Amino acid sequence: MNTIGWYVSGREGTDMPNRLRDARSPYLLQHADNPVDWWEWGDDAFAEARRRDVPVLLSVGYAACHWCHVMAHESFEDEQVAAYLNAHFVAIKVDREERPDVDAVYMESVQALTGQGGWPMTAFLTPGGKPFYAGTYFPPQSRHGLPSFSQLLQAVDEAWTQRRGDVTESAERIGTALGGGARVEAGGGPPGADRLDAAVARLTGEFDPAAGGFGGAPKFPPSMVLEFLLRHHVRTGDHRALAMVEATCERMARGGLYDQLGGGFARYSVDAGWVVPHFEKMLYDNALLLRVYAHLWRVTGSALGARVVRETAGFLLRELRTAEGGFASSLDADSPPVEGAAPVEGAFYVWTPAQLRDVLGDEDGAWAAALLGVTDAGTFEHGASTLQLLRDPDDSGRWERVRGQLFDARLPRPAPGRDDKVVAAWNGLAIAALAEAGALFGEPSWVDAAVGCADLLVRLHLDERGRLLRVSRDGVAGTHAGVLEDYADVAEGFLTLVAVTGDPVWLSLAEQLLDVVLVRFADPTGGFFDTGDDATDARLAGLRRPQDPTDNATPSGWSAAAGALLGFAAYTGSDRHRTAAGDALGIYDALAARAPRFAGWGLAVAEAWLAGPAEVAVVGPRDDPRTAVLHAVALRSGSPGAMVVAGDPDDPASAVVPLLRDRGVVGGAPAAYVCRGFVCELPATDPDRLAAQLAGPAA
């Protein structure tokens, strides 16, 4: 698979000093042969802008971004546009996945100026880094009220050279506005039961009963909200919450958002019915959704949930796993262009009735077209259709044969490029999902993959100071410091490995990461900043230190940190970590009622807080099948945020985990201890009794 990406302009041998040729980011390398004189973000670029007394053009995107490719093809490959840009600006290209801190701060200026955000992000900055104008995609010719990119460059240059005072005033005004929004007040304690009930009521009002999900088009998988609703259902028995999860999961899995042949989910649906996706596939979406569907199966036994878990895990291992054992960031939305044409979105995934007949023959082709919603009119572009599986096939054996034939038939199609950089946070999510799903579904190879990925993060991403580096590629670590979500999500992954493998080394490593969180990321008023106090870019600090408790495509670093801290406290009894988690959850007391769609993971952690969370110590010889049965029952519990560990009382390593200390077998039989706040019920040696204890009310 093409790991750097097919999207380059073909200017081999040019004399243009494009500095991106030395970059490690696949996204930056996609622009390495542009005629634009790109710089990477850093002191040298801003010093050059000061020396020349010109503004900075900041362009932010990522490798799988369709409109980033489009704007690059239309504008950044154009010789005349590039010549003007080079003469009047210093152009900086940033991979938002490498530098989420840069993206976060300047995206606020885009949203403040335009009322919306997105990528590519286009911002104009003073040589000091202050934004004075910003937007997203700009076309090559003016349309739909947008100026052309060339017109925009000329207008900005004219303002800079002839109305510098206006530009400076605008930059100061925007900078002041950004600085004024820098601090988030965490508020009181975690949301109580009434607040979480109010969040469910608000979500019920925003729920789409026809298609599942929340709101209208474009529609994104609400992974963190689904986790909250599942936990709320388990804690309270609220069937409204479960019904929203079941309907949303079914519609997403049956629609074009889901790859019916290869497994895995696209980034979002451009329509409200999950029919036509934006075809990029992101590691974080698939890790989060793998866990959601595993938890749905755990609660309901859903056959659809089980199928999606197995297919999505297969997709992750087949298409995103790197040679070093990590997981690549994404697959592009677009297939490679042919003979210099524009990139083709979705070409790898869509079908016409004629293509189905060519592969399957007339009879099976017609059957597959009816089953998969492939019509002569098409649901996508040029008469092609996305594949939907709106009902279970009447002949499962026939479907598996047809599915295999179609999967094999599309392999020779030009495949979307892969961004194979390893992002620490997203790999932490993948570790948690694969480890937990592997344990639940009896797939040790998934657990092995999770452990291998965790080993890679320790080996490459954890430096000699115990600090995380955000990215690596081809076995070489980058230089960018990890942000809060990296520490929190990797700690979450390590804690999940404690639950699944019982290896105490993962608890020690999680503690190391969380200590950095408490020392370097904590806000004295409660909650967290997104960058460490010793790793915040000076130019960004002059605007504001990034801080955001709300979820985006992934759990916010703030809520992920709260969850990992709470989990660690459950294993260790650490009041310091539990108190920090509770303080961080204070912000979600307000968000629960006002904006629960953007606080799903914080609310899920709050459900765990209300449930205890349950602390389950399974004690018995590792080779005793009764130990394995009790461990499996504990892992099958849907008790919100339950932390499980199994240990052999004869193994001194087990004593490293405080939850296992001073707990032994009962009458010679393996036993499970269900505790909350390290106060335990009577030990259970019978699996049914253990299940009943975990299903009971929180203490």
pLDDT digits (tens, 9 = 90+) for 263-316: 999 999 999 999 999 999 999 999 999 999 999 999 999 999 999 999 999 999
Residue among 613, 617, 492 nearest 560 (CA):
492
**Using CA of residue 228, residue 231, residue 233, residue 235, what is the dihedral sign?**
negative
Instruction: Say whether pLDDT at 17 is over 60.
Output: no
pLDDT tens track for 334-373? 887 655 555 578 999 999 999 999 999 999 999 999 999 9
Peptide bond into 670 cis (omega under 30): no
Q: Cα–Cα distance between 549 and 561 in angstroms, integer?
A: 10
Give 122's pLDDT tier (boundaries 50, 70, 90).
very high
CATH says 19-180 is which class? Answer: alpha beta
Between CA 283 and CA 260 the distance in angstroms is: 17
Amino acid at 156: V
List the chain domain ranges: 19-180, 193-332+419-611, 349-412, 615-695
If you average pLDDT over residues 422-450, what whole number do you get? 98
DSSP collapsed to 3 states, 364-402: HHHHHHHHHCCCCCCCCCCCCECCCCCCCCCCHHHHHHH
* pLDDT tens string 495-537: 999 999 999 999 999 999 999 999 999 998 888 999 999 988 8
Could you read off the pLDDT of 437-487 as tens digits, one per residue?
A: 999 999 999 999 999 999 999 999 999 899 999 999 999 999 999 999 999
3-state secondary structure of 170: helix
278 membership: H or E segment, kind and range: strand 277-278
The tokens describing 522, both together, are: 């904590």
**Bridge partners (DSSP) listed for residue 477:** 472
Domain boundaries 615-695, corresponding CATH code: 3.40.30
Distance from C-alpha of 541 to C-alpha of 179, rounded to nearest angstrom = 9
Same fold, 19-180 and 615-695: yes
Tell which residue, 324, 220, 349, 340, has the closest CA to residue 274. Answer: 220
Q: What is the pLDDT of residues 142-168, one digit of tens each?
A: 887 788 999 999 999 999 999 999 989
Q: Report the C-alpha gap between 281 and 287 in whole angstroms.
A: 11
Burial track 528-567 (b if 16+ CB lie within 10 A, e otherwise): bbbbbeeebbebbeebbbbbbbbbeebbbbbbbbbbbbbb
CA distance 620 to 524: 43
Q: Is the bond into 393 cis (omega within 30 degrees of 0)?
A: no
Class of the CATH-defined domain 193-332+419-611: mainly alpha
